[in-house]
Structure 1
């Protein structure tokens, strides 16, 4: 699988002189229009590192500098080449690209051999996974994958499938976390990205200080789907997909969250409420988790957000004996 492009932090407003004027960074919806992309295509381009975004100094959603728009628009084959790079397909079209049947494609995805880049829920509340067409083309070009595309699935892999292996949700979480970490320009934001994939009780055990949890929560990333009501079935299912399930995945996240907290504390301690003067006044006010800043820019594009195949079963492989940290794994990228 391809390695996601690493993005760089740049100032929010590009102060390039053009006839004595400044060139402010644009909201993402405006940037998508200028690049001729649907919002779903633009969002996937950002997640894959094709388009770099920067934080808004005013506290709003992330923005895109004019320099970045100029860079993307100047690439060879623009805009058709960019659209092809961010084209996402479902199971049927993905199977056609690989030249295999739909059931075989689903097996490859469950085994983690092709990884989703997004998902959405259809009208029946079934998870529809979407895959990057460019990933699938590269998969077919690798000769070592030829036996997986023809003939019987090897017996060891069939046994894992029979045992219920399904790595789609887990692999999506890995790519999603990689995107969050690339965009995080603050150590507390990196900690919040890791915490976003854990159960609340696991975060509380790893970060026992309520003031640190409250401060970290200010940097909590937006969920992939913002249109569903918080307690709706769609929101609950999305949250299930976003939450690590296997013991080794949870252990990786908690270990890396603890390491990220060490870096965040060294950068700056979490703010604490001032204590009331005098012992008769009692203890100072408690730290309370703050809600993350709302994104002022809704997603107007009705198209689903890209990532791979339809199946509501999200069980993951109980892999054992792995000792690499999750961040190290992400930084390696897909081989």
Structure 2
């Protein structure tokens, strides 16, 4: 009976987990169910055509079943969805606008045509792709007719001659709009702005190291181009990072406002104080024991006056003050200290001629005086 119960519980648990996972699906599966290529699906997510939700247990973003059903019920599905996310390169884009490739490139460098995504070919050349709907909208605007057929104005030609290229900057702006559209969390929105700045620029705006660490934790992943550390990956990293001073200043100001707003709503997490990390453990009743009072060092006692000796003792060598203090300290620790006299050091024996010690001279003079007294008595 217990084995059957355990098997039943395991089955119920697996079914419950499966049911929770089926509420949302992975992006690759959602792309297959919607009839999109993975690249087109990513563009649809970037443009807000398909909404995603954060994954459970810290995983990547997922697509809810309800969102897939909503997209399927839209008019013209799936052809309308595929057409709304279709992109073209420079050659197809120039054909769509009925201009030359050189003119199309100049219009894109001037920032009049905003790219949606980019890739790197085998020669590490940047291949920009543009949304078909954006190109059609640009061509339908009567104000742009002169740019498509006439000569480019002189001021714009001078900027092109100086090397102006706004395609990376415009792509970063569109990418940031996509990141901000995904979340309402204030710290995540601030991290989205910080993802376009160099870490040095972020440290100049956000001085608190714990806030910078929190922003780094919430920083959205950048599109992958090439293996990490490869020249292609380094080039893509440069394209995804703001470099112009005016753009850096603008993003820095946006980051400062976003962090200030997030700090007011919810401060960044910080480590617990040391007293809480290393404090005494709680007892069985949930109460912490009272801290023990600090140990006080005993005050030094004054040395007592020596008493008169009752019996003659052997002479002792004088002790240094430091030795007396050490003996006093040991005396406080021991109940009955043992003080032993230090014997006199032995006199060195020398065979060299010299004056005899003082006691030998005194004995010799006594014998001479006695001999003189006996001689006087005889002479008398």
Q: Report the CA distance between 1:265 and its aligned residue.
A: 1.0
Task: Give the TM-score normalised by the residue count of structure 2.
Answer: 0.66
Residues paired across the two proteins, number? 260
Q: Report the CA distance between 1:243 and its aligned residue.
A: 0.9
Deviation larger for 263-272 or 213-222:
263-272
Q: Report the CA distance between 1:22 and its aligned residue.
A: 9.3
Structure 2 unaligned runs (5+)? 1-18, 280-380
Q: Report the CA distance between 1:23 and its aligned residue.
A: 5.4
Aligned-partner Cα distance in 2 for 1:38–1:111: 31
Partner of residue 262, structure 2: 264
1:41 paired with 2:36, answer: no
Of the two structures, which has the highest relative contact order with CA contacts closer than 8 Å and spacing of 6 or more? 1
Q: Report the CA distance between 1:192 and its aligned residue.
A: 0.7
Partner of residue 102, structure 1: 101
Q: Report the CA distance between 1:229 and its aligned residue.
A: 2.7
Q: Secondary structure at the match of 1:76?
A: coil
Aligned-partner Cα distance in 2 for 1:271–1:35: 40
- Alpha-carbon RMSD across the aligned residues, in angstroms, is 2.0
Q: Report the CA distance between 1:241 and its aligned residue.
A: 0.4
Partner of residue 223, structure 1: 222
Q: Secondary structure at the match of 1:119?
A: strand
- 1:21–1:247 Cα change, 3 Å: closer
Which digits, 9 at most, give the CA deviation of each residue in 1:271-319, with x for residues without a partner?
Answer: 11223239x99xxxxxxxxxxxxxxxxxxxxxxxxxxxxxxxxxxxxxx
Aligned-partner Cα distance in 1 for 2:34–2:252: 39
Partner of residue 195, structure 2: 196
Q: Report the CA distance between 1:264 and its aligned residue.
A: 1.3
Q: Which has the higher helix share?
A: 2
Q: Report the CA distance between 1:234 and its aligned residue.
A: 1.4
- 1:103–1:193 Cα change, 3 Å: same
Task: Give the TM-score normalised by the residue count of structure 1.
Answer: 0.74
Q: Report the CA distance between 1:73 and its aligned residue.
A: 1.1
Alignment of 1:206-245 (within 5 A): 206-225=205-224, 228-245=226-243
Aligned-partner Cα distance in 2 for 1:276–1:21: 40
1:156 paired with 2:189, answer: no
Aligned-partner Cα distance in 2 for 1:69–1:271: 36
Q: Report the CA distance between 1:262 and its aligned residue.
A: 1.0
- 1:63–1:21 Cα change, 3 Å: closer
Q: Report the CA distance between 1:233 and its aligned residue.
A: 1.0
Partner of residue 138, structure 1: 137
Q: Secondary structure at the match of 2:57?
A: coil
- 1:22–1:90 Cα change, 3 Å: closer
Aligned-partner Cα distance in 1 for 2:162–2:263: 43
